[in-house]
Chains A and B, each alone.
Chain A
Amino acid sequence: ETGVTQSPTHLIKTRGQQVTLRCSSQSGHNTVSWYQQALGQGPQFIFQYYREEENGRGNFPPRFSGLQFPNYSSELNVNALELDDSALYLCASSTPGPTNTGELFFGEGSRLTVL
């Protein structure tokens, strides 16, 4: 069984640039969620994708956007980067439906530094 994989693992950008982070979900999982974890904080929900559509969103501005592809992999895009966007971005996959009560399977994250 293949777990959640994310790329790149580390990257450095400058303020105002754009970034794309990628995620492959765990085998058999068709729902992907993205979380932002700032230094010393718990992860915060950005959004979730199911069947290639956004299916729930946290309190993040529109410059945070995403995609899900037919193979259930996903991208997180952040435009007009700000210094406060520096964080570990975590992707998590799950299966939808009544048996899913929020249990998520996380990747190891992409650490973004904005200078």
Chain B
Amino acid sequence: AQSVTQLGSHVSVSEGALVLLRCNYSSSVPPYLFWYVQYPNQGLQLLLKYTSAATLVKGINGFEAEFKKSETSFHLTKPSAHMSDAAEYFCAVSREDSGAGSYQLTFGKGTKLSVIP
């Protein structure tokens, strides 16, 4: 069984400050990991994904995440927060539904990021 834990349901940072959103996962097989962002009243948009290539993954809007197998972590960072980054962020792990040939995502509960001017 897979699970994702996001530490901190709400994170506040000042504009221009470092953004760090934490994600730990458990998976019985090498995982595929994702970060999605959800703006108010919208669906989810893919920020970045890890699929066993480079451990440091760069995504859109200046975000990046580092896969650390020893720590089972996939934390999301951005060097300098912008007001437009205010949204909810979801970490997710993917697994293949055995025998069905399909992939399903298991999401964390989300972290709401507020950016203070």
Q: Which of A92, A96, A104, A108 contacts B42 (CB 8 A)?
A: A108
In the assembled complex, B12 has its CB within 8 A of some CB on chain A: no
| Complex-state Cα separation, A12 to B96, whole angstroms | 34
B102 touches A48 (CB 8 A): yes
A55 touches B101 (CB 8 A): yes
Asked if A102 meets B90 with Cβ closer than 8 Å, knowing A55-B102, A56-B102, A96-B102, the reply is: no
In the assembled complex, B94 has its CB within 8 A of some CB on chain A: yes
User: Smallest Cβ distance from B65 to chain A, in angstroms?
Assistant: 15
| Complex-state Cα separation, A108 to B90, whole angstroms | 15
| Complex-state Cα separation, A92 to B107, whole angstroms | 14
In the assembled complex, A100 has its CB within 8 A of some CB on chain B: yes
In the assembled complex, A33 has its CB within 8 A of some CB on chain B: yes
Of residues 44 through 93 on chain B, the ones whose CB sits less than 8 Å from some CB of chain A are: 44-46, 49, 51, 90, 92
B106 touches A45 (CB 8 A): yes
| Complex-state Cα separation, A111 to B92, whole angstroms | 22
User: Smallest Cβ distance from A88 to chain B, in angstroms?
Assistant: 9
Bin the interface of chain B by size: 20 to 34
A108 touches B49 (CB 8 A): no
| Complex-state Cα separation, A58 to B2, whole angstroms | 13
Question: A72-107 CB contact bits vs B (8 Å, 1 = yes)?
Answer: 000000000000000000101010100011111111
Contacts of A102 in B (CB 8 A): 32, 34, 49, 92, 94-95, 103-105
B44 touches A43 (CB 8 A): yes
B49 touches A103 (CB 8 A): yes
Chain A residue at minimal CB-CB distance from B106 = A45
B49 touches A43 (CB 8 A): no
Contacts of A100 in B (CB 8 A): 103
Contact residues of A with B, CB < 8 Å? Answer: 4, 31, 33, 35, 40-45, 48, 50, 55-58, 90, 92, 94, 96, 100-109
What are 14 A-B pairs with beta-carbon distances under 8 A? A41-B110, A42-B4, A42-B107, A43-B44, A48-B102, A55-B97, A56-B102, A56-B103, A56-B104, A96-B102, A101-B103, A102-B94, A103-B34, A106-B43
| In the A-B complex, the 3 residue pairs with the closest CB atoms | A102-B94, A42-B107, A56-B102
